[in-house]
Structure 1
Amino acid sequence: MINKLPRWVWIGGSILAFIAGMINAVGYMGFRHQAVTHLTGTTTLLGIAIATGEGGTAVSLFAVAASFLAGSIFSGILIQDSTLKLGGRYGVALLIESLLLFAAVPLLNRSNPLGDYLASSACGLQNGMASTYSGAVLRTTHVSGIFTDLGIFIGHYIRRIPVDRRRILLYLILLCSFFFGGGAGASAFKYFKYNTLFFPAVLTGFTGLGYAVYRRYLHKFQNQSRPG
């Protein structure tokens, strides 16, 4: 049961889900119509491309998947934790994600597929950051697991099995954040095209800096609270 979820988990998770929704909307509306925040559809399309002999498409789809995997691998190397807890590496990871998104924009504006690969690696890095907190699995770049867990909770509720309402609230916040991020990304893309990615890039960077400031403040407060 989640009895006391830290504020930074609620705020950070919702911001990151919103960011992922924006990035994915840009990927879908771009020249390749490619999802970059998750690999379910990409893996299916890769299988179809191989089966139908579309070698060029297969290579491109494989590169997107490999980029996402590379971002996740780097996240594992950098963060090294399977459980969410305050640590300086989260801020570093967010700043790197921000740089990847900034670098993707000029490439995408030139219809260079490397832009998709950088955006995908940024999402792999982000998704690798979020693991678990008090038994709640936190993923911010896709919502399949969230829908599954919500369905399980509803089934338990119907059967009068106790459910963790705070965990349900957390998942609903993540789901809504991803949804509204997608809407915001689609609306912005109409006017700014690939420059829309500058918005999540800046937001990710500020989130990383904000996390670092919060962690520093909390560390200082805890030191001051200790008896001398």
Structure 2
Amino acid sequence: MLRNSTTNRTFRENQMLASSTAFVSGYINVAGMLGLLVFTSNVTGHVASLANHIVRQHFHEIMVFMIWLLMFFFGAFTSNFIIRSFEHKSYYTAHSTPVILEIFILLFVAIYGNHFFAGSDTEREYIIGALLFANGLQNNMVSTVSGGLVKTSHLTGLFTDLGGEVAEWLHPKSLKAKITKEKILIRTTILGCYITGGIVGGIFFDIYGFAIFYFVPLILLTILYYDLSPLALHKLARLFGRPGKTNNFKQ
């Protein structure tokens, strides 16, 4: 899912990346809403809230929402900066480093929320900022890796693209029906997994509270392992004198 460049990816790789990360985004978003009363995987609502607080001159809220927007921005900035810094050495390293950073942030949220969170507004604001940063990391990573095809937390854009692509697919003058069909499958996969993640996150948050954030890093570790396992098998084969076929790892 992470080992290939943007121009050397298969439909299956994009679909697997879309399904796993969309599930994570939906899961975090609903869990954040239930635990912190704020959506944490997108910024559209935060921009509207910021405008409302500016009109009403709620200066503390203006500062908070501006910081939250910047946290998502800096997450995306950090992710892209890391990818561009390492992609000349290894695509896997470049693409996996933002995921590893996201894992550490989510583990922090799980530990703090489960053991120390007292429910104060200041605590909520910091945790929301951390989750927005994590989602900025993930959203930029999947967008960069997939060449802009996959964006797991931007559902407004997803419905816009999906509507246009369905029209293109059904139009009698369409010349790229196969490519368009694959894009539609990717979009519907994102939507379905996002909703599923939200449902699962909501159900389990009611039962386990912030402890459910321990589960998300397991999904992200699975994404990392998916690409590591062929390389590990290849190295074992070489160690025991059975050279295997590599899987296009750029070292």
- TM-score norm. by structure 2 comes to 0.77
Displacement after TM superposition at 1:194 (Å):
1.8
- C-alpha separation in 2, matches of 1:214 and 1:201: 21
Distance 1:175 1:152 in 2: 16
Name the structure 2 match of 1:139. 151
Q: CA deviation at 1:9?
A: 2.2
Percent identity between the two aligned chains: 21
Q: After the TM superposition, which residues 137-176 of structure 1 pair with which residues of structure 2 at under 5 Å, given as runs?
A: 137-162=149-174, 163=177, 164-176=180-192
C-alpha displacement at 1:17, in angstroms?
Answer: 0.6
Structure 1: tracts of 5 or more residues without a match: none
Structure 1 range deviating more: 112-121 or 209-218: 209-218
Report the aligned-residue RMSD: 2.9
Please tell me whether residue 93 in structure 1 is matched to residue 98 in structure 2. yes
Do the aligned residues in 2 keep the contact of 1:14 with 1:174 (CA within 8 Å)? yes
Q: 1:10 maps to which residue?
A: 15
Superposition deviation, residue 47 in structure 1: 0.9
CA distance in 1, matches of 2:230, 2:154: 26
Q: Between 68-77 and 104-113, report the one with greater CA deviation.
A: 104-113
Equivalent of residue 75 in structure 1, options 54, 79, 92: 79
Instruction: Output aligned runs, 1:57-76, within 5 Å.
Output: 57-76=61-80
2:218 matched to which residue of 1? Answer: 202
Q: Report if the CA contact (8 A) 2:78-2:137 is conserved.
A: yes
TM-score by length of 1: 0.84
Deviates more, 1:134-143 or 1:215-224: 215-224
Whether contact under 8 Å (1:21, 1:177) holds in the other structure is: yes
Q: CA distance change for structure 1 residues 159 and 210 in 2, over 3 Å: closer, same or farther?
A: closer
Code of the residue aligned with 2:23 in structure 1: it is F
Residue 87 of structure 1 deviates from its aligned partner by: 2.8
Moved more, 138-147 or 5-14: 5-14
Q: Name the CA distance, whole Å, in 2 between partners of 1:74 and 1:41.
A: 23
Aligned to 1:213: 229
Q: CA deviation at 1:71?
A: 0.8
Compare 156-165 and 176-185 and name the one that shifted more. Answer: 156-165
Q: Is the 8 A contact 2:14 2:186 kept in 1?
A: no
* Superposition deviation, residue 136 in structure 1: 5.7
Contact 1:127–1:140 (8 Å) recurs in 2: yes
* 1:185 equivalenced with 2:201 (yes/no): yes
1:67 Cα offset (Å): 1.0
Q: Residue in 2 aligned with 1:51?
A: 55
- Does structure 2 conserve the Cα–Cα contact (< 8 Å) formed by 1:18 and 1:179? yes
Q: Is the 8 A contact 2:165 2:183 kept in 1?
A: no
Query: Which runs of at least 4 in structure 1 moved beyond 6 Å after TM superposition?
Result: none
Distance change in 2, residues 1:9/1:223 (3 Å): closer
Give, in angstroms, the shift of residue 215 of structure 1: 5.6
Q: Which has the larger radius of gyration?
A: 2
Cα–Cα, structure 1 residues 98 and 133, in superposed 2: closer, same or farther, change >3 Å?
A: closer
User: After superposition, what is the alpha-carbon deviation per residue over 1:158-188, rounded to whole angstroms, capped at 9, x for unaligned?
Assistant: 5424231111111111111111011111111
Secondary structure of the corresponding residue to residue 75 of structure 2: helix
Can you list the C-alpha shifts for 1:126-170, whole angstroms capped at 9, x where unaligned?
A: 011023678662111222221111111233345424231111111
